Structure 1
Amino acid sequence: MAMLTVKCFARYRALLGFSDLTVPAVPTLGDLLADPRFADLPKDALLAVNQSFVDRSAPLADGDEVALMPPVSGG
């Protein structure tokens, strides 16, 4: 079975209730985020696949690593 790894960073760990999660692969990041486990993820979350920032339309493949990160600010 094709699988993905999802990693949550910073406050998203507490918000979503996990830091690392393995899930069955789906065609796009948007499909993954439609899963009820991600319902509390804010719309402004930074999204990355295999350490590259992407949008919700990004395709996913077996073995991909998805990262969910809060927006950052600073100077």
Structure 2
Amino acid sequence: MAEDNPGTARSILSPREDELREKRTKNMFLILALVLVLLWIGGFMMFHVAGFLIHLLLILAVVSIIFHFLRGRSA
């Protein structure tokens, strides 16, 4: 199995381990986006003065969601 494509991390993982890693990565991006959106909403309601930083969090959350959907399911 490792001889097929030496030098890559995927060549040492079984298909099941690779699938678990992919699921964890997708979950990580969704959780990150959710946390960033919640922080933005909370910050917008509590700290109206720090508008720039709050909107920066929103932009990061949107970029994270877009990245998650564009990445899709990798083979």
TM-score normalised to structure 2 length: 0.21
TM-score by length of 1: 0.21
Query: Relative to total residues, which structure has the larger strand share, 1 or 2?
Result: 1
**Using CA pairs below 8 Å that are at least 6 residues apart, which structure has the higher relative contact order?**
1
More helix by share: 2
Structure (1 or 2) with the larger CA radius of gyration? 2
